Amino acid sequence: MATGGWGAVGGGAWGGAPSSKNYEENIPEAPRPAPPTASSFGQSAFSAQPAQQPELATTSYRSQPANTGGFGSSAGAYGTAAAGGQPSFNTASSMTDPALRRKEAELAAKEKQLKELEAKLSAAGALEKKNWPICYPILYHNISEEIPEGRRRPVYEGYMAWWGLFICLAWNLFCACVMLGQDVNQKVPSWFLALLYIICGVPLSWWLWYKRLYNGAKSDSTFGFVWFFLWFLVHTAYCTWAAIAMPFSASQWSFAGFITAMKALDVNNFAGIIYLVGAGCWSVEAAFSWWILVDVWLYFRGKGGIKEVKEAAKREAALAAFRSQSGTNV
C-alpha cells in the first residue's frame, strides 16, 4: 500500500536525497565543445595542452618563447604580466617621473661642463707651445699670459737681469777672444774659462733663479721665492766679483773687470777699452741685481711671505715631532 500524506511528503521531500537517476534522465546531456583552433586572438586559453609556464626570474627575457597570441597567450596584454615581464604602464610612468627628468638634466649639465673644460684645456695646450727663444724655440715663456698682473713687475726685473747676465758673459768671451791676438801669458786658459762661463752660466741662471722667480710668481709659491733669493744672491755675488776681476793665474783675462782692464791698457789700448766696457757692463749688472734683491724682498714681505715661511717651518717642525713620537711609540 502506498504511503501518503505527510509520510509521503517526508519521504519525498525530507525523507532523503532524491535519486540522481531521475534527474539524469530528465536533463539532457550538454554537447561537448569542439577542439580549440587558432583564431585571430591567438591560441585559445582552453587549449588541451597547458600553456608554457614562465621561467624563473633569473632567466633572461630573450630566452622566453616567442608567442604573439591574444588574450590566451602568455605574450598578450595580460599574459605579459603573468609571465613576469614589465607592464607597459611602468615605462610610461618612468618617462614622466619628475625625479628622472631632473636627473637627466643634471647629467646633461655635467656633460656640458666637461666638454667646456676639455675645450679650455685643449686651448691652453695649444697656447703652451714652444715660443722661446725666437731663433730656436725650446720652451714656453709668456709673462703677460701666465703671471698675474700684480706680480709681473718683479718677474720683468728678473728677466732683464738674466738678459744682462747673458750680455756680460758674451762680452766677457769677446774680450778673451781679443786677448788671443795679443802677446800675453795665459790667454788660452782664460779663453776656455770665459767659454765655460757662458756655456754653464746662461742655462744655470735660467733654471736656478729666474724660473724660481717665474714659477713662484705664477703660482704664488712661498718656497719658490725663497729658492730665488738663495740662488739670486749667488748670482749677485758673482757679478760683483766679475766687475772687480781680481786676477788669478788661470783666470787672468777671463773676467772683464776693472783690475783686468788696467792690465789690458798696458798691453794694448784697444784691448784696454774693450775690457773697460766689460767692466762697466758687470758693474751695471751687479748694481741692478742688488736692487732687484731689495725690491723682491719688499714685495715678498709685503704680501706676507715671511709669515708664511715661519708658519710653514712651524708646521714642518710639528710634523717631524709627531713622526718621531709615533716612531718611538711603535
Q: 185-211 pLDDT, tens per residue?
A: 889 999 999 999 999 999 999 999 999
- Cell 757692463: give the residue: 281
Q: With cut-offs at 50, 70 and 90, classify the pLDDT of residue 118.
A: confident
For residue 244, tell me if it sits in a domain.
yes
Do the domain assignments include residue 53? no
Residue 289 domain flag: yes
Poorest-pLDDT segment among 1-10, 64-73, 101-110, 170-179: 1-10
Residues 6 or more apart in contact with residue 18 via CB below 8 angstroms: 12
- With pLDDT > 90 as the criterion, what percentage of the chain qualifies? 40
Answer whether residue 94 shows pLDDT above 80. Answer: no
The answer to whether residue 106 is domain-embedded is no
Nearest to 178 by CA among 165, 191, 197, 162: 191
The verdict on residue 208 lying in a domain is yes
Q: Name the nearest CA neighbour of 286 among 245, 227, 248.
A: 245
- pLDDT greater than 50 at residue 277: yes
Q: Are 82 and 45 in contact (CB under 8 A)?
A: no
Which domain range does residue 215 map to?
151-321
Residue 139 phi/psi, 5-degree rounding, is -155, 170
Can you give the pLDDT at residue 287?
A: 97
Statement: the pTM of the whole predicted model exceeds 0.85 = no
The predicted pLDDT at position 317 comes to 72
How far apart are the C-alpha atoms of 330 and 324, rounded to whole Å? 10
189: burial class by Cβ within 10 Å (0-12, 13-18, 19+)? Answer: middle
pLDDT at residue number 249: 67
Quick check: is 173 in a domain? yes
Q: Is position 56 within any domain?
A: no
The total number of structural domains in the chain stands at: 1
Q: Is 79 exposed, middle or buried (0-12, 13-18, 19+ CB in 10 A)?
A: buried
- Set of cell numbers at residue 62: 630573450
Residue 62 has pLDDT above 50, yes or no: no
| Of the candidate ranges 126-130, 204-208, 241-245, the one whose mean pLDDT is the lowest | 126-130
CA distances (Å), 132 to each of 190, 195, 281, in order? 31, 23, 25
The grid coordinates of residue 316 equal: 714642518
CA atoms within 13 A on the CB side of 165: 27
Highest mean pLDDT of the ranges 5-14, 152-161, 300-309: 152-161
Q: Tell whether 181 is covered by a domain.
A: yes
DSSP for 177-227 reads HHHHTSS-SSHHHHHHHHHHHHHHHHHHHIIIIIHHHHHHHHHT-HHHHHH
pLDDT > 90? residue 282:
yes
SS3 of residue 39 by DSSP: strand
